[in-house]
Amino acid sequence: MKAHTTTLILPLLAAACLTIAKPAAASEEIVKKARCIACHTVDAKRVGPAYKEVAAKYKGDAKAPAQLFDKVRAGGSGNWGAVPMLPHPADKISDEELKAAIAWILALQ
C-alpha cells in the first residue's frame, strides 16, 4: 500500500512545486528583462533599495501593490533617499508584468 500511495503522491508534489516555482522564476525574468536589475538586487542595495528591503518596508500593507505600481510608472525620489527612480512606461514593462514583478518582490523575505 505504501508504494502505491508514494507512486500517486510524488508526481502530485512535484507538479505542485513546479507550479509554485514557475511564477517566481517568471517574475524574476520580468525584472531582468525590464532592466530593473540595473539599479536593484534581491538582497543588497545598489542604486536603489534591495527588493527584500522593499518587501520588509511594505509588509502587511494592502495598499503597497498599487502604490508601488504608481511609483514605478511615474518614477520619483524621496522614499529611499535623494536618488531618483526613472519612470518605467508601459512600453518598457506591461501592466501585467509590472503587477507580477511587484507581487514577486513583496513576497520576498
Residue showing cell 507550479: 19
pLDDT at 4: 52
Domain over 23-107 is classified CATH 1.10.150.530: no
Residues forming a β-bridge with 76: 85
In degrees and rounded to multiples of 5, residue 30 shows phi and psi of: -60, -45
pLDDT at 78: 87
Residues forming a β-bridge with 85: 76
State pTM to two decimals.
Answer: 0.75
Q: Where are the domains of the chain?
A: 23-107
Distance CA 8, CA 80 (A): 50
List average pLDDT for each run of 10 residues in the chain, which is 109 residues long.
Answer: 52 47 70 92 94 96 96 92 91 94 94
